Structure 1
Amino acid sequence: MVDSTVLLVVRIFAAFGALALICSPFILMNQIRKQKHVGVASVIPLVMLVINSHVWMMYGYLAENYFPIFSCYVSGDIAAIAYVAVYWRYTTERSYVARVLAVTMTVFTILSIYAIVGGLGCTGQTRAEAAKTLGYIGDATAICLYAAPMEKLFQVLKHKSAIFINAHMVMASLTNNIMWLTYGILTANWIIIAPNILFVALNSSTLVLCIVFNPKTHPLHESFFAGNDDAPIEVSVELSPKAATGSKVPNLPSPEYKAMQSPLEPLRLQLDRNQI
């Protein structure tokens, strides 16, 4: 039997890990807001964070695990929706993002209906059985959430630069995984243990790629930015004005240095003559 004090400490650390994961996109969202462009950021991890947070919130409620699961993922639900709203505001690929959001809302609605119906016993399941089903669904959505960066790992290997990966989110995810793995072991909850074993390995590998292909030492080649709408915004400063198309620029003499006689030279010569 695990000591209640130890379990409480692990619960608190697991809650901090979950909140770290939930807050990790904030830095990226702030950058997007400042540059008014999503750059190379993908919407997939954000919508998966919405679904994952929503499922675990419902699981925590049905399983009566109000801390840390329910309380943390209520916050995650709200924060993830805010992140998606920021992404939608500044993306240039509205049609693609709209399709992704349509699928997300469909899944969101179906899972919500199941949680309500299952919790009321209308599916022939007890509350605990409905919670267990949502736990398995939560594992599946969590796998999709952590597998979402795989979309960018292929580009990292192709371009030899980790600029495609949000390193802050990877580190937050790894911390979160370790905390929840510990919590799952102490409570003997395999719904929590099984996926987090996979996630620790996956995020550790991703973090290694972030270190090996650090964007500061491995920037993208200039050819990537040519004709790529997803390239990060760059500000250029022109040091010389350009003439308008079709206008003629007069042939001005090129500036150069010329030796000039000192204005004191005639005075010096006059003084020399007076001394003779």
Structure 2
Amino acid sequence: MAVEDTVRTVLGIIGNVISFLMFLAPATAFYKICKWRNTRGYSGFPYVMTILNCALWVLYGLPIVKPDSILVSTINGIGLGIEIIYTLIFLIFCKDSKTRLKMLGLIFLISSFFAAVTLSTLLKFHDHKKRYTTIGTICIIFNVFMYASPLSIMRKVIREKSVKYMPLYLSVAMFGNGLIWTAYGAIHFDINLVLPNGLGAGLGACQLLLYAVYYRTTKWGDDDQKPAVEMDDKPGVGLNDNGYPRPLGAGHDGV
């Protein structure tokens, strides 16, 4: 048991590092926004939804909900802070008042939803199993939705026979991130971690396969280097500026 716990801790630390790097992926886009002092074609809605996702996983990993899962809370707590910074930058430089108002309204809604989930779960349920089952189910729903977002990129790759807009390092990170957190959840079997991260690892593997298949047919011109999905404004889809899901979570454990 001690060996299993040690291995699980090591996997959790590795997962924290990988997830942290994935959280930083959109930083280049926000550097551009700060430089332009304008959000231009970028959407801020995915970052607001990522705030909710991270907050839910922070709650899930707390000892009062899921004992021995604090590493889930640590990375999502860091991610929560990063996503809040991204959102604040977007709000500061957004020139469209309607978009700003919509984002503020969404922030109010997700804050109310998170407060309702937290209070109802902690006050209604007094044992860990019911608490982590309820919150874990909600987290799974958000993560499955998040991990489905790269399907549009994969479809574009197949249609155009080009991996120009599917960066290799993000595909590798997505695969490794999902794999690490799946293993972490499997040691003390936790379906709430295994299911969404197993899906993430599977999609990451599919992207790597597509990369291998279509690499040679890709035309690497310099004529169009903008992200493939930088104008996506679908609430709930946690995309970074390359059209990939951000770890919402420890692997997200998002885990």
Q: Quick check: TM above 0.5?
A: yes
1:1-276 aligned within 5 A: 1=1, 3=3, 4-38=5-39, 40-61=41-62, 62-65=65-68, 67-96=70-99, 98-119=101-122, 121=123, 123-124=124-125, 126-150=127-151, 170-206=171-207, 212=214, 217-218=220-221
Deviation at 1:13, TM superposition (A): 1.2
Query: Match for 2:75: what amino acid?
Result: C
Decide which structure has the larger Cα Rg and report it: 1
Deviation at 1:135, TM superposition (A): 0.8
Structure 1's 205 and 89: CA in aligned 2 closer, same or farther, altered over 3 A? Answer: farther
Query: Match for 1:12: what amino acid?
Result: I
Structure 1's 38 and 166: CA in aligned 2 closer, same or farther, altered over 3 A? Answer: farther
Q: Which residue number in structure 2 is paired with residue 271 of structure 1? A: none
- Asked if the contact 1:45/1:148 (under 8 Å) is kept, the reply is no
- Asked if the contact 1:43/1:97 (under 8 Å) is kept, the reply is no
Count residues in correspondence. Answer: 223
Distance across 2 between alignment mates of 1:210 and 1:101: 38
Query: Match for 1:76: what amino acid?
Result: G
CA RMSD after TM alignment = 3.6
Deviation at 1:56, TM superposition (A): 0.1
1:216-238 CA-to-partner distances (Å, cap 9, x unmatched) read: 815567xx9xxxxx7xxxxxxxx
Distance across 2 between alignment mates of 1:101 and 1:73: 22
Structure 1's 8 and 176: CA in aligned 2 closer, same or farther, altered over 3 A? Answer: same
Structure 1's 152 and 91: CA in aligned 2 closer, same or farther, altered over 3 A? Answer: farther
1:233-271 CA-to-partner distances (Å, cap 9, x unmatched) read: xxxxxxxxxxxxxxxxxxxxxxxxxxxxxxxxxxxxxxx
Q: Which residue number in structure 2 is paired with residue 252 of structure 1? A: none
Deviation at 1:6, TM superposition (A): 1.9
Give 3-state SS (helix, strand or coil) of 2:130's partner.
Answer: helix
- Asked if the contact 2:44/2:90 (under 8 Å) is kept, the reply is yes
Structure 1's 15 and 195: CA in aligned 2 closer, same or farther, altered over 3 A? Answer: same
- Asked if the contact 1:20/1:176 (under 8 Å) is kept, the reply is no
User: Runs of 5+ in structure 2 lacking a partner?
Assistant: 232-255
1:19-66 CA-to-partner distances (Å, cap 9, x unmatched) read: 223222223322332344445544343223212111100111121345
Deviation at 1:101, TM superposition (A): 4.7
Query: Match for 1:80: what amino acid?
Result: E
- Asked if the contact 1:47/1:104 (under 8 Å) is kept, the reply is yes
Deviation at 1:149, TM superposition (A): 4.5
Query: Match for 2:74: what amino acid?
Result: S
Q: Which residue number in structure 1 is paired with residue 247 of structure 2? A: none
Distance across 1 between alignment mates of 2:49 and 2:30: 16
Structure 1's 135 and 220: CA in aligned 2 closer, same or farther, altered over 3 A? Answer: farther
- Asked if the contact 2:121/2:134 (under 8 Å) is kept, the reply is no
Structure 1's 101 and 72: CA in aligned 2 closer, same or farther, altered over 3 A? Answer: same
User: Runs of 5+ in structure 1 lacking a partner?
Assistant: 225-229, 231-276
Distance across 1 between alignment mates of 2:13 and 2:46: 25
Identify the structure with bigger relative contact order (alpha carbons < 8 Å, sequence gap 6+). Answer: 2
